[in-house]
Amino acid sequence: MGKIAFLFPGQGSQTVGMGKELADTNEVVAEIFKRADKRLEMNLSKIVFEGPEEELILTTNTQPALLTTSVAILEAFKEAKIEADFVAGHSLGEYSALVAAKAISFEDAVFAVRMRGAFMEEAVPAGLGAMAAILGIDRDVLKEITEEVSLTGNPVELANLNCPGQIVISGSKEGVDKASLMAKEKGARRIIPLQVSGPFHSSLMKPAATKLAEVLNKVDINNAQIPVIVNVSATAVTNGEVIKEMLIQQVFSPVLWEDTINYLLQQGVDTFIEIGSGNVLSGLVKKIERKVNVYAVNDSVTMAKTIESIKGGVS
């Protein structure tokens, strides 16, 4: 039997009603949502379960909503006694991974990501930043393009290196537009502008990182009990001080997701379990390596199937 990694989704995976079916039938799940409401002094669970979508997609709501959903589903999944050898999360999902690894308490994490969302929204005035997914182009070619465009005074950088041929760029609106055009000329298959409230994971987010550091400095970040593969370096980290530093850098650094999955594969992981809303990360894992077992646990049906497959030893 190979090793198991738990993966936790980030922004973009949210849907109205996520986690509701489990919360209605499982007291452990319902309790996590109640704890989020209490810590944030707001009815977050109502926004998650009922919407409206316009409220859920506000970054300040999306981030705590996704974290709460992931942690709630994880708590229910834990009853099956399936242990992770490693954990990782995409961007915001890294906080869910840290809760899973007992490096940070759920209450501290949900508060921190609510503030993180607010700081990220405030960092760049609306309309001045942008992000776009660039499909079908080599990482090194795209990096050269972004560096060339940035030299003209329009910053643009690689933000999410998701899987081969799927990279998100982020930066000033002009920078992203110019780099997108050049990428198309250099053979990119498709350019998809993203509906986001800011240029996440670019150097324009440094003001947000500075403010987030103040919040994280007041929070207990312990050594992780399970190695966490962090976005910034795509390496395993357990030291609490290093984790804190990585969370601050993560706001303005690229998410090295493809590298993260490759690192896990090198460590002997052959079973990836995505815990939380949707199955975006499961899809990315399959694009990186087809020959592994991939599960997405987001409701009672997928949870039961996953547990049966793993416990029964059937892939």
Task: Report which residue type is found at 198.
Answer: G
Specify whether 315 is catalytic: no
Distances (CA, A) of 216 to 7, 59, 222, 267: 23, 18, 12, 30
CB within 8 Å of 184: residues ≥ 6 apart: 191
Q: Which DSSP state fits 222?
A: P
> Would you say 171 and 102 are in contact if contact means Cβ atoms under 8 Å apart?
no
DSSP class of residue 172 equals E
Among residues 45, 91, 96, 180, the one annotated as catalytic is 91
Helix (H, G, I), strand (E, B) or coil at 238: coil
Alpha carbon distance 86, 280 (integer Å): 19
236-237/166-172 β-pairing: unpaired
Q: What is the Cα–Cα distance from 87 to 32, expressed in whole angstroms?
A: 20
Residue type, 115: M
Residue 52: cis peptide before it, omega within 30 degrees of 0: yes
User: Which residue in 96, 170, 197, 201 is the catalytic one?
Assistant: 201
Longest dimension (CA), the chain: 58
Beta strand pairing status for 236-237 and 228-229?
antiparallel
Residue 90 is among the residues annotated as catalytic for this protein = no
First to last CA, the chain: 11
| Cα distance between residue 28 and residue 264, in whole Å | 30
Q: Cα–Cα distance between 69 and 295 in angstroms, integer?
A: 17
For residue 152, give both structure tokens.
């003209």
Catalytic residues: 91, 201
